[in-house]
Structure 1
């Protein structure tokens, strides 16, 4: 881990899973096909999600059950709380299935559409389907207690920070950000948006950005690679 990465805020967690690091190397390659990119994003999200949820949700005893042989057992579930997945369009869609696989029960999936304005690199929201998101009432029953942002790449951090602010205003009590890779300055930016309520889990960190806000060496444009829109 680089010295810059070592100085990341305490609410940022970088995975050291060896399988994940190997998959991240495969994902970086320009020869990796769109089908392989989709599979790798899903597999990396599964590993990062396992690590994040292990620290963020609590297992509790559930109702008594019975096995096919008639033996009684005490079931286990996660602590009752409202959870939602919030993929950032487009590339965040590639991480949804992994989290749905991990969670024991179906949860709502709310979408946020954000893009970076090419000149200023500032985030612009173009889509938001959070229930009752116009109401900035923290007591709103529509807001999930735990909102999980799915954003494969954190570059400047502006888009992620905007998503965190949106969910905070919506009324989410806690936010998890799951990412495949981020630039160190962008991760610091996102982590400082609401540090007391947000934890960021990321598979890898690059130290620098290009002049147009791309990670170096990075992964390229993940959305384009997932949906075969390179050269649009």
Structure 2
């Protein structure tokens, strides 16, 4: 019997998505095919995630080519950031940018798993004004933080990297985080979902039940970053 997912985790049942995920699992998929499949999967999962996580509101007046006036539609919240986790999150970026009606800031987070402990290590962070100024109260809101951060993390295995990214975004001052992922192992998914349950929703194409002793998902789909950037065997 499959374990019960946390209430803030949403696993897609879209049949086309499941078929594409199956294609992505295959070792025979080359870098070009891997890139295309990650992009297509991200569009489908992203549609579901943003459909549930965003809302629309009336905007300004405009005219159609025939001269008729209409009220435009805007999305809410008004401040959104995309946060891909380097490297593999870059493979999802264009898909989610395509879905959003207007360009939004992209803030990169660089995290890797230490090979021995499997604990996350941050090596890059370009969130604006990440460190508060001296003398700033710890509970003061960060005016530079977006209301919503969309975190792009293709594979959630141990969950340590995703949980660390969520904590970083929470400390930055976002009000909500939507995580979009391609595949997760249940233990890692549970860890990430429980990092900030009231502020995070995770949307994923598929969930496997376990990881191996190297922290890789079984059966999984390998190291997505290596497959995207042809660095297998580094």
Matched, 1:199 2:197: no
What are the superposed Cα offsets for residues 101-120 of structure 1, whole Å, 9 maximum, x if unpaired? 00011000000000000000
Q: Which residue of 2 aligns with 1:3?
A: 2
**How far apart are the structure 1 equivalents of 2:95 and 2:13?**
19
Q: 1:222 to 1:115 in 2, by over 3 A?
A: same
**How far apart are the structure 2 equivalents of 1:10 and 1:80?**
22
Q: 1:32 to 1:138 in 2, by over 3 A?
A: farther
Q: What pairs up with 1:60-75 in 2 under 5 angstroms?
A: 60-75=57-72
Which residue among 35, 38, 59 is the counterpart of 2:35? Answer: 38
Q: Which residue of 2 aligns with 1:87?
A: 84
**How far apart are the structure 2 equivalents of 1:32 and 1:218?**
14
**How far apart are the structure 2 equivalents of 1:91 and 1:180?**
11
Q: Which residue of 1 aligns with 2:135?
A: none
Matched position secondary structure for 1:226: helix
1:73, CA displacement in angstroms? 1.8
Q: What pairs up with 1:9-48 in 2 under 5 angstroms?
A: 9-48=6-45
Q: In terms of mean alpha carbon deviation, does 133-142 or 23-32 score higher?
A: 133-142
Q: 1:58 to 1:157 in 2, by over 3 A?
A: same
Q: 1:179 to 1:43 in 2, by over 3 A?
A: same
**Equivalent pairs, count:** 229
1:61, CA displacement in angstroms? 1.1
TM-score for the superposition, normalised by structure 2: 0.96
Q: Which residue of 1 aligns with 2:224?
A: 222
Cα pair 2:182 2:205 within 8 Å, conserved: yes
Q: Which residue of 2 aligns with 1:129?
A: 126
Q: 1:80 to 1:3 in 2, by over 3 A?
A: closer
**How far apart are the structure 1 equivalents of 2:76 and 2:170?**
21
Matched, 1:56 2:58: no
Q: Which residue of 1 aligns with 2:144?
A: 142
Alignment gaps of 5+ in structure 2:
133-137
**How far apart are the structure 2 equivalents of 1:67 and 1:220?**
49
1:79, CA displacement in angstroms? 2.2
Q: Which residue of 1 aligns with 2:188?
A: 186
**How far apart are the structure 1 equivalents of 2:69 and 2:129?**
43
Cα pair 2:21 2:41 within 8 Å, conserved: yes
Cα pair 1:88 1:112 within 8 Å, conserved: yes
